[in-house]
Chain A
Amino acid sequence: MQTNLFAACAALCLGALTSGAQAHDYKVGSIIIDHPMAFETAATARAAGGFLTLTNTGDTDDRLIAVRADFPRMELHTTIEEDSIMRMMQVEAIEIPAGETVALEPGGFHVMFMGLDGDPFEVGEKVPATLVFEQAGEIAVEFAVESRGGAAAMDHSGHGGDHGHGHSHDAHGHDAHGHDMTN
């Protein structure tokens, strides 16, 4: 398995030097980015949410300060619930304290892709984007578009709730090969 993944990644990643489409995680500086994903949208959808998990393995606090992608507007958002009223609002940055894991997950922080007009997110699509961290710098990633009901979404349900410390390392540790190449 490891060999296969390594071979696949070596073949795909070496030349292109793009962040591996095979890998579900990335690393830049002390930040591990686990499984950037988005859900499929309706054909006429104008916006989509992006989700991922960030782990700061370093000794210095960091912040996700921007996500860039080829859309009319990209923002970082959070959702706040007060008295069962949901308010989605823009945030300037998402803090990733040293040694901690922060999940961008449904009902909380998310990346907002705005202005999809006419080009919906379809299952299997990879949406390229660049994450910008205050300390760790920039890294190109791909958001994997998944079905809400499909097996992928079910597997990924761990993205919500207590998905955090350890999981990304345990489940996707084999992707470590990808890190070396994408750094």
Chain B
Amino acid sequence: MNKIAIFGGGAVLLAAVGVGAWMAFPRDSADRFAGCSETNAMSASIGGPFTLVDETGRTVTDQDVFTEPSVIYFGYTFCPDVCPLDNWRNAEAATLLEGEGVSMQPVFISVDPQRDTPEVVADFTDVFHPRMLGLTGSPEQVDAASKAYRTYYRAHDAEEDEFYLVDHSTYSYLVLPEYGFVEFFRRDVSAEEMAERVACFVEQA
């Protein structure tokens, strides 16, 4: 049962990325970033509008969030192992880019709105980077944002066990204010490589 769900989720994700390569992305944009992309995932089919709640409890849209180049990660704060590792990597990339005069905003979007209140995501993101933005929302808002980015998540026994775990996909997504989603990063990409690729996109934009 679990396995089917996971493979299903993975298949959807891979299909989305595969389709992404085919989808019509404005040709000049594709050309513009051709030298930067490792994944050729630039696509209008990943990303898009969302409404979420920020660290202060304010309702925000993608327009409010993406005022600068941003790298988004979908995870949950009860996850003490992989999520911190991945968010630390994204924060490190932001710090490396700062050193080169490039501003990149790391963004953490919770897929566990039941436990991740605005206060909890604020605390969680502060550990990694002063500019990391934490977002959460209603279950419906979070689900819509996750679907927009084709991410997968599934909570186990959330109603019976307060210490429940959540399976989730671990891609990070680069979003540019003028262009939307342009690139994704697997979790084995280093902070250095991420910084290099982000800088390339930002320079070409």
Shortest distance in angstroms between A144's beta carbon and chain B's nearest beta carbon?
Answer: 16
Given known contacts A85-B6, A85-B9, A85-B167, A39 and B152 CB-to-CB distance under 8 angstroms: no
Contact A79 B124 (CB under 8 A): no
Chain A residues near B124: list those with CB within 8 A. 42, 44-45
Contact B120 A84 (CB under 8 A): no
Q: Convert A21-36 into 0s and 1s, putting 1 for each residue whose CB lies closer than 8 angstroms to a CB of B.
A: 0000000000000000
Q: Report which of A39, A42, A47, A48 forms a contact with B163, defined as CB distance below 8 A.
A: A47
Is there a chain B Cβ closer than 8 Å to A86's Cβ?
yes
Within 8 A of B (CB), among A43-65: 43-49
Q: How far is the CA of A172 from the CA of B124 in the complex (A)?
A: 33
Contact B170 A44 (CB under 8 A): no
Chain A contact surface mostly:
strand
Is there a chain B Cβ closer than 8 Å to A82's Cβ?
yes
Contact A44 B78 (CB under 8 A): no
Which of B35-43, B59-67, B79-87 makes up part of the contact surface?
B79-87
Shortest distance in angstroms between B150's beta carbon and chain A's nearest beta carbon?
Answer: 11
Contact B9 A107 (CB under 8 A): no
Q: How far is the CA of A148 from the CA of B125 in the complex (A)?
A: 13
Contact B163 A83 (CB under 8 A): no
Is there a chain B Cβ closer than 8 Å to A152's Cβ?
no
Q: How far is the CA of A41 from the CA of B88 in the complex (A)?
A: 12
Chain A residues near B169: list those with CB within 8 A. 83-86
Contact A107 B10 (CB under 8 A): no
Contact B77 A42 (CB under 8 A): yes
Is there a chain B Cβ closer than 8 Å to A88's Cβ?
yes
* Nearest residue, chain B, Cβ from A77: B81
Chain B residues near A112: list those with CB within 8 A. 80
Shortest distance in angstroms between A65's beta carbon and chain B's nearest beta carbon?
Answer: 20
Given known contacts A79-B82, A83-B9, A84-B187, A42 and B123 CB-to-CB distance under 8 angstroms: yes
Contact A107 B81 (CB under 8 A): yes
Shortest distance in angstroms between B197's beta carbon and chain A's nearest beta carbon?
Answer: 17
Shortest distance in angstroms between A86's beta carbon and chain B's nearest beta carbon?
Answer: 5
Among A46, A84, A89, A113, the most chain B Cβ lie within 10 Å of the Cβ of A84
Q: Report which of B82, B165, B167 forms a contact with A107, defined as CB distance below 8 A.
A: B82
Contact B123 A86 (CB under 8 A): no
Shortest distance in angstroms between A166's beta carbon and chain B's nearest beta carbon?
Answer: 25
Within 8 A of A (CB), among B9-45: 9-11, 13-14
Chain A residues near B193: list those with CB within 8 A. none
Given known contacts A41-B127, A84-B13, A86-B167, A79 and B81 CB-to-CB distance under 8 angstroms: yes
Chain B residues with CB under 8 Å of chain A are 2, 6-7, 9-11, 13-14, 77-82, 84-85, 88, 115, 119-120, 123-124, 126-128, 152, 163, 165, 167-171, 186-187
Given A86-B79, A86-B170, 11 more pairs with CB closer than 8 A: A39-B84, A44-B123, A46-B77, A79-B82, A83-B13, A84-B186, A85-B6, A88-B167, A106-B81, A107-B85, A114-B163
A-B contacts, 20 listed (Cβ < 8 Å): A39-B80, A39-B84, A41-B127, A49-B81, A72-B163, A81-B170, A82-B6, A83-B9, A84-B171, A85-B10, A85-B152, A85-B168, A86-B168, A86-B170, A88-B81, A88-B167, A89-B165, A107-B82, A112-B80, A113-B80
Chain A residues with CB under 8 Å of chain B are 39-49, 72-73, 77, 79, 81-89, 106-107, 110, 112-115, 148-149
